[in-house]
A and B are shown apart, each in its own frame.
With several copies, the nearest count.
Chain A
Amino acid sequence: MNFDFSDDSKLLREQAQRFLRENCPPKAVRAVLEGKAPHDAALWRGMAEMGWLGAAIPEAYDGAGLGYEALCVLAEELGRALAPVPFTSSVCLAAEAILAAGSESQKREYLPKLARGELIATFALAEGAGDPREASVHTRLADGRISGTKWPVPDGTIAQLAVVAARDASGVSLALVDLTALGITRTALASVDPSRDQAKIDFVNAPAVLLGEAGQGWNTVRRVLDRAAIVTAFEQVGGATAALEMATAYAKERFAFGRPIGSFQAIKHKLADVYVATELARSNAYYGVWALSADAAELPLAAATARVSASDAFFQATKENIQVHGGVGYTWDYDCHLYYRRAKLLALALGSQRHWKNRVVAELETRNAA
C-alpha cells in the first residue's frame, strides 16, 4: 500500500506553485472579478505552454499523458490560487466528454487543440434551476440542428466549442456545437463569483454534430460529472487549505486585548474544526484520484464522497476565514471574499450537495445489496 502522491507528482506540484505564485497573484483574480476580462488569457496561455491543459490527454492526441494524479495536483494548486481560467470546463468536462464518447476523428480534431489551449470548450448541461437529471434536458436536437436555452454555462462567453446535452428521438444525446456559429446568442450572467465566467446560451437551429451514440448521452454525462467531481474536489481542497492558511496567519499576527487572537480558544477551535474538515476532504479526494487513475468500480462512490466533503470543507473554511479576520475580512480589498465566492460557486457548479449526498447513499445501497 502506498497512499501518497508519487515523487513525479510532488515535483509537478512545486513547479505549479512557483508558476502560479508568479502568474496568478490575487490581483490577477481581481482583474477578472472586477470585470476587466472574462478570464485571464495570459495565464491560460502560460498553462498551455506548461503542458497542463493536456496533462490527462493521451500523447496520441498531443496531450502530455501524465494521467489523473497530475491533473489533480494541478487542480489543487489552481484552487489554491483561485485561477480565473476555464480549466474545469475545457479540460475536465469537455475534453473528458470527447475522450469518453467521441469518434476517433472527433478526438483527432479537438483534443490536440484543447491540449494546446488553441480551443476553449465547455459543457452545457443546465437549463436553469435544478440538479443534473436526465428528465430535465429539454433542448431539442434533430437533423443536425439544436434549439433551446442553457444556463448557466460555465465559461460560456469565452468558449468556442460546447458539448451540449440535448434530447432527440432516441433520448438524451450529446452534441458538439460551434459557439461562434449562427443561431447562437450568448449572454454573460451576473454571478456570486464573477472571477469565473457564467453565461446563458440560446440556441436557435444552430448547427450541431452528434458526440457518441444517440440516446446514450446521459451515461457520458454521469461519467464526466463523476470524474470532474474528483478533480474539482482537489480544486476545493486547495482553496480550503489556502483559506485556512490565511486565517491561521492572521490569527497569529492580529492582536486584541493585548494578545494574539489565535490564543483565544474561540479562534483556535474554529480553525481546528476547519483543519479537520479539510483533512477529511483531502483524504477522500486522495481516494478519488486513486479510483480515477485505476478507473475503479468504486469511482462513483469515491467521487460523490470526495465532492460532499470538499464542498462542505471549502465553504466552512472560507466563511470562517472571513469571521477570523473580523471587519477587514468583510471588505472588498481583503481577499477573503474571493475564496468565499469561489467556494459557493464550486459547491453548485456540478450540482448541489443534496444531489451528491443522494448519490453517495445510492452507491452505498448498491454495494450493500450486492
Chain B
Amino acid sequence: MDFDDTPEEAAFRTEARAFLEANATRKTRRSAAHRYGDTDAAEVARARSWQVRKADAGFAGITWQKEWGGRGGTPMQQIIWQQEEANYETPPNIFLIGLGMCIPTMIAYAKPDQLQRYVKPALRGDEIWCQLFSEPSGGSDVGGLRTRAEKRGDEWVINGQKIWTSGAHYSDYGLLLTRSDPNIQKHAGLTAFFIDMKSRGIEVRPIHQMSGASNFNEVFFTDLRVPDAQRLGAPGAGWKVAITTLMNERLAASENRRPDMQDLIELARSLEIDGRPAIADPAVRERIAEWHAQTAGLTYTRFRVLTALSRGQTPGPENSIFKLVNASKQQAVASFGMDLLGMAGGVMDPDLAPVQAMFQDSLLSAPGMRIAGGTDEILRNIIAERVLGLPGDMRADKDLPFNQLPSGSR
C-alpha cells in the first residue's frame, strides 16, 4: 500500500501540471463555488475552448486509442489527470455524457464510416452529445419507456417525449432509446438510434428545478424522421445497447460539492453557541466527525476503485456507493449548517449568509442529487442484488406484453 507515483506516472503528472499551469488558474478556497445552475452559451463556448486545448495536448481522451484521437494511455494516467485538473478552475465538463457514455456506445455499435465522422469532433468538443433514455412514465424504470419508433421504408418515425436530458439544449447529437414493438415483453421491444438534435420534429424545453436552476430538459419528438442507418444494434435489441451505455457510466468524478467538510468546519469556527465557538460544542463535533468519517471513507474507497481500474478492471455496481452516501450527506450537512445559524439560517442573501449562502443553496439542490442518476432506492436495489447477490423483487412486468402492463394515473 502506497501513494507514490512510479517514475512513469510522475513524469506524466509533471507534464499534466505544466499544461494546466500554463493554461488554467489554480483554485483557491475562495474561488466562486460552482453553482449547479444553467449552463449558458458563454459557458458552453468556454467549455469548448478548454476541450480543444486539452485534445490538442493529448489530455482529452487519455485512455482512448490513438486512432480515435486519444493518447493510448493507462487508466492510472487518466486518474492522475483528473486529480490534477481538479485543482484548477475549469469550465463545467459538458462532454462527460458524450465521451463517457454515447461515444463508447457508438464505438460498440456504429459503422466504421460513422465512427470516422463522429468520434473525433466529439473528443475535440466540436460536437456535443446527450443521452435520451428517461421518460415521464418511468424515471427509475427505464425499460418502461413509451416513445414510439415506427419503421416507414428506410426511415423510422419517432413520436414521444423524453425527460431529464442534461444538455439537450446545447447538444448536437443524441443517443435515443425507443419502443419499436409494444406487443411484446417490455425489454424486448426497444430499439436504439443516434439522432441529430437539430432535426425538424425535435423540441427542447428546459425544466425549471425547485432550486431555481435548469440543468435538465424535456425533449419532445413529433414525427421526427431518422434514417435506418442511424439505428444502433438490431431492431428490438435496444435494451442491450442501453446496457452498454449505462455500463459505461463513468465512475462519478470526485465532484467536490460545496459546502464540503472544510466549509463546515470554518462555519463552526466562525459562529458562537452560548458564547463559545460552535466548533467547541460536543454535539457539533460529533456530527462533523461522523461526516468526516463518511467523506474519508468515500475518498479511500475511490482509491481502492482506482487501484482496481489501474489494473484493468471495469467499474462495477459497487460504485453506487458514492452517490448514495454523498447525496444524503449533502442534504444533512446543508440542513445542519443552517441550524448552526439559528434564527438566521433561512436567509439566503450571499452578503449576509456565510460562505456565499452555500448551505442554503445546497439544501435546495441536494434533494435532486438523491434522485438524478438513480434514486437512493434504486441504488440500494443495485447494491443488494448485484453486489450482495440477493434475489430480485417480484416483477409485475416480467412476462406481460408492454401494452398490457398495468399503469397508474400519474
Contact = CB atoms under 8 A, between A and B. Distances in A.
Interface of A: 1-6, 69, 125-126, 128-133, 135, 151-152, 189-193, 198, 200, 244, 248, 250-260, 262-269, 271-273, 275-276, 279-281, 283-284, 286-287, 289-290, 293-294, 304-305, 308-309, 312, 315, 319, 322-323, 326-334, 336-337, 340-341, 344-345, 347-358, 360-361, 364-365, 368
Given A152-B346, A344-B346, A350-B343, A263 B393 contact: yes
A3 B301 CA distance: 9
Nearest to A368: B265
Contacts of A263: 390-394
Contact of A332 (B210, B262, B318, B376): B210
Contacts of B379: 272
A305 B292 contact: yes
A285 to B, nearest CB: 9
Interface string B269-313: 001111100010011011011101110111111011011101000
A125 B139 CA distance: 46
B277 to A, nearest CB: 10
What class of interface size applies to chain B in its complex with A?
35 or more
Contacts of A260: 390-391, 408
Given A272-B384, A289-B1, A332 B335 contact: no
B283 A354 contact: yes
A345 B383 contact: no
A280 B294 contact: yes
7 contacts: A130-B271, A252-B391, A254-B410, A272-B387, A308-B290, A357-B289, A364-B265
B7 to A, nearest CB: 13
A351 B343 contact: yes
A257 B301 CA distance: 32
A69 B2 CA distance: 11
A305 B391 CA distance: 34
A286 B343 contact: no
B342 A327 contact: no
Contact of B387 (A191, A275, A305): A275
- Interface SS of A by simple majority: helix
A101 B339 CA distance: 30
Nearest to B376: A323
Interface stretch (B103-111, B124-132, B347-355): B347-355
Nearest to A284: B297
B385 A1 contact: no
Interface stretch (B89-97, B219-227, B250-258, B399-407): B399-407
B127 to A, nearest CB: 27
B24 interface: no
Contacts of B410: 250, 253-255
Contacts of A130: 271-272, 341-344
Given A257-B393, A290-B3, 13 more contacts: A1-B4, A125-B343, A151-B347, A189-B347, A258-B407, A260-B408, A269-B381, A272-B383, A283-B299, A331-B207, A332-B209, A344-B346, A347-B339
A360 B288 CA distance: 9
Contacts of B395: 257-258
B303 A276 contact: no
Nearest to B382: A272
A151 B344 contact: yes
Most buried by A among B209, B275, B391: B391
Contact of A1 (B76, B209, B301): B76
Given A192-B363, A271-B390, A323-B367, A259 B406 contact: yes
A294 B2 CA distance: 9
A4 B313 CA distance: 14
Residue from B136, B138, B342, B375 with most neighbouring chain A CB atoms (10 Å): B342
Contacts of B289: 304, 308, 356-358, 360-361
